[in-house]
A and B are shown apart, each in its own frame.
Chain A
């Protein structure tokens, strides 16, 4: 297999809560690799730490209250992003690693035209003249498939629809041809038909520009359609990693199973109640002992309460799961 482009090792991002009472361990020892040209899906419900993970990679965590613990390691192009000086870091942001955000309408600055905003990264990183940057912006608008790009160049964000705004965001992120694109819930704020268009666009651009995409989402449907590999997060940790087809056919972690079972499906009777995982995500200041999923897990036994499982090899290629069931599969049988 190729060398990873981005290696995240033991990433811990903590937040000191109000009045210094406790520490929210939002991301607690996350490790994964991103390979060139692949799409890595990162899934999990709200509060599992997926957005904090992506913000940590570009060190956009507000400090205070947040901080990345020493010992965390994010390697990109042979350097640890966590030890770069601010100017070195800025040379990476938007240039080598770019990011698009969840809310296209609020992620665009209302007082600048679309053209100005797309040109910004080119002006910052490549020191283009205004004229050259404008030409560049126009080219980007064409690339992301916006109709009548010349006219859109001088529009303000409030004059555009959500789908077009998201295309503009993508154009902004891709101006400098980054190696890595972090897409944090890029389609959550859009309606379903536009969602499909945006995902198709990302796929096409990935093929054309050869970048790796980190696709952060809570929607398993998006993952199934777009991602090559999937990282499932729960309670600030990676609980399962696998290639997409493997994950959807042989999920090992009970949390992943639960997520899959809660997706509505056409081949089930419409009257059947949708499965839901009992309980709530625990508070980040107070993760449960042992396996963090044990209070909600149908299989949990003594060992799960006492001892935290490591990521165990399941036997499938590149498939690991943080669950004692992998070591003792007979317990799964006994219950069912």
Chain B
């Protein structure tokens, strides 16, 4: 850890804080932003997420060492935090800060991408089932019932067993493709209640084609629960990735992810707690921030909620 790395780390921390506060100040004119930042934790949560995204993006600049390099197998085994290794080292003498930083890339990317897959698929299925009703609803919802009835972990295990070394893209797809069932239910319920509303009829009476009615009149009004479920979903996908990696079937070592870092440290939780503590704290912080942002977004996206 050189002064340059400290400087970069502090600069990113400052950038995240300034970014979050700047966002709040810069958008103060808009009603939606005002409702968003009215939540006491919203700005803080945005800052936390911004910080982790920044270190993930700038990982090579922040990380003092190669995340998979075993630095000194005897001397640097399970060292507690120090100036050279701010988060300590693990059993294999790898620098934990470097692993945490590069692990952020993997964990955040897997969480976000898998959730994007799940939410878009769930939204499409839910919209179709809810808007077109009739046989489409029956077919799609029975499919969802089947999906919900099969334990997800088994589907994931099947996918994992098809590859000897699971590619990240496949992990993302599998998590995404097994994660949309509940979202589609949510969207469908929302659409069902909205499609009967007078303004949907009014839009049809105006001559708007079905795609326009769905995308402009039904979806935006159903989007609040969708966004909340997406924000909460990223968190739960990150936890799922962590537990898969913990079980040794997710992100394959030596590529660091927060989940397999905890797995690597689990044997010495009593003697070297810092090896599990930092990735664990990172997961907790990010998931909590996502939840807070999800909550704030829900209020911000509903113009009927007056700022008081």
Across-interface contacts of B207 in A (CB, < 8 A): 90-95, 121, 124-125
- Do A121 and B206 contact each other (CB < 8 Å), given the known contacts A110-B221, A158-B304? yes
A-B contact pairs, 15 of them (CB 8 A): A60-B204, A93-B204, A93-B206, A93-B207, A94-B208, A98-B205, A101-B198, A101-B202, A102-B198, A107-B201, A108-B199, A109-B199, A124-B209, A158-B303, A169-B202
Residues of B in contact with A (beta carbons under 8 Å apart): 134, 197-199, 201-209, 212, 216-217, 220-221, 303-304
Residues of A in contact with B (beta carbons under 8 Å apart): 58, 60, 64, 87, 90-95, 98-99, 101-103, 106-112, 120-121, 124-125, 156, 158, 169, 172-173
Query: How many A-B contacts if CB must be within 8 Å?
Result: 74
Across-interface contacts of A173 in B (CB, < 8 A): 206
Across-interface contacts of B208 in A (CB, < 8 A): 90, 94, 120, 124
- Whose C-beta in chain B lies nearest to the C-beta of A158? B304
Q: Are the CB atoms of B217 and A109 closer together than 8 Å?
A: yes
Across-interface contacts of B217 in A (CB, < 8 A): 109
Across-interface contacts of B216 in A (CB, < 8 A): 109, 112, 120
User: How many angstroms from the CA of A110 to the CA of B303 in the assembled complex?
Assistant: 7
- Do A107 and B303 contact each other (CB < 8 Å), given the known contacts A94-B207, A120-B208? no
Across-interface contacts of B212 in A (CB, < 8 A): 124
Across-interface contacts of B198 in A (CB, < 8 A): 101-103, 106-107
- Whose C-beta in chain A lies nearest to the C-beta of B301? A111
User: How many angstroms from the CA of A213 to the CA of B225 in the assembled complex?
Assistant: 41
Across-interface contacts of B204 in A (CB, < 8 A): 60, 93
User: How many angstroms from the CA of A102 to the CA of B205 in the assembled complex?
Assistant: 13
Chain B nearest CB: distance from A16 CB in Å?
14
Q: Are the CB atoms of A124 and B206 closer together than 8 Å?
A: yes
A-B interface, 9 closest residue pairs, ranked by CB to CB distance from nearest: A94-B206, A93-B207, A94-B207, A107-B198, A99-B205, A106-B198, A109-B199, A90-B207, A107-B202
Give the interface SS of chain B, mostly helix, strand, loop or mixed.
Answer: helix
Q: Are the CB atoms of B206 and A172 closer together than 8 Å?
A: yes
User: How many angstroms from the CA of A111 to the CA of B223 in the assembled complex?
Assistant: 11
Q: Are the CB atoms of A94 and B303 closer together than 8 Å?
A: no
Q: Are the CB atoms of B206 and A111 closer together than 8 Å?
A: no
Q: Are the CB atoms of B304 and A110 closer together than 8 Å?
A: yes
- Whose C-beta in chain B lies nearest to the C-beta of A95? B207
User: How many angstroms from the CA of A95 to the CA of B209 in the assembled complex?
Assistant: 13
Q: Are the CB atoms of A120 and B206 closer together than 8 Å?
A: yes
Known: A60-B204, A107-B198, A124-B207. 5 other contacts (CB 8 A): A93-B204, A107-B202, A110-B304, A111-B303, A173-B206
- Whose C-beta in chain A lies nearest to the C-beta of B219? A111
Across-interface contacts of A121 in B (CB, < 8 A): 206-207
Q: Are the CB atoms of A109 and B203 closer together than 8 Å?
A: yes
Across-interface contacts of A158 in B (CB, < 8 A): 303-304
User: How many angstroms from the CA of A106 to the CA of B204 in the assembled complex?
Assistant: 14
- Whose C-beta in chain B lies nearest to the C-beta of A58? B205
Across-interface contacts of B206 in A (CB, < 8 A): 93-94, 98, 120-121, 124, 172-173
Chain B nearest CB: distance from A103 CB in Å?
6
User: How many angstroms from the CA of A88 to the CA of B209 in the assembled complex?
Assistant: 11
Chain B nearest CB: distance from A235 CB in Å?
25
Chain B nearest CB: distance from A98 CB in Å?
7
- Whose C-beta in chain A lies nearest to the C-beta of B134? A64
Q: Are the CB atoms of A106 and B209 closer together than 8 Å?
A: no
The listed residue (A93, A106, A108, A111) touching B205 by CB distance below 8 A is A93
- Do A111 and B201 contact each other (CB < 8 Å), given the known contacts A121-B207, A172-B206? no
Chain B nearest CB: distance from A116 CB in Å?
9
Across-interface contacts of B202 in A (CB, < 8 A): 99, 101, 107-109, 169, 172
Chain B nearest CB: distance from A93 CB in Å?
4
Most buried by A among B197, B199, B207, B209: B207
Across-interface contacts of A125 in B (CB, < 8 A): 207
- Whose C-beta in chain B lies nearest to the C-beta of A106? B198
Across-interface contacts of B199 in A (CB, < 8 A): 106-110
User: How many angstroms from the CA of A101 to the CA of B209 in the assembled complex?
Assistant: 19
Q: Are the CB atoms of A111 and B220 closer together than 8 Å?
A: yes
Chain A nearest CB: distance from B68 CB in Å?
48
- Whose C-beta in chain B lies nearest to the C-beta of A121? B206
- Whose C-beta in chain A lies nearest to the C-beta of B224? A111
User: How many angstroms from the CA of A106 to the CA of B202 in the assembled complex?
Assistant: 10
User: How many angstroms from the CA of A28 to the CA of B197 in the assembled complex?
Assistant: 26
Across-interface contacts of A99 in B (CB, < 8 A): 202, 205
- Whose C-beta in chain A lies nearest to the C-beta of B212? A124
Across-interface contacts of B303 in A (CB, < 8 A): 110-111, 156, 158
Q: Are the CB atoms of A101 and B201 closer together than 8 Å?
A: yes
Q: Are the CB atoms of A60 and B201 closer together than 8 Å?
A: yes
Across-interface contacts of A169 in B (CB, < 8 A): 202
User: How many angstroms from the CA of A329 to the CA of B203 in the assembled complex?
Assistant: 49
Q: Are the CB atoms of A109 and B221 closer together than 8 Å?
A: yes
Chain A nearest CB: distance from B19 CB in Å?
28
- Whose C-beta in chain B lies nearest to the C-beta of A59? B204
Across-interface contacts of A124 in B (CB, < 8 A): 206-209, 212
Across-interface contacts of A60 in B (CB, < 8 A): 201, 204-205
Q: Are the CB atoms of B220 and A90 closer together than 8 Å?
A: no
User: How many angstroms from the CA of A158 to the CA of B220 in the assembled complex?
Assistant: 16
- Whose C-beta in chain B lies nearest to the C-beta of A169? B202
User: How many angstroms from the CA of A274 to the CA of B186 in the assembled complex?
Assistant: 51
User: How many angstroms from the CA of A156 to the CA of B205 in the assembled complex?
Assistant: 21
Q: Are the CB atoms of B205 and A90 closer together than 8 Å?
A: no
- Whose C-beta in chain B lies nearest to the C-beta of A111? B220
User: How many angstroms from the CA of A112 to the CA of B220 in the assembled complex?
Assistant: 9
Across-interface contacts of A108 in B (CB, < 8 A): 199, 202
Chain A nearest CB: distance from B30 CB in Å?
11
User: How many angstroms from the CA of A87 to the CA of B207 in the assembled complex?
Assistant: 9
User: How many angstroms from the CA of A107 to the CA of B201 in the assembled complex?
Assistant: 8
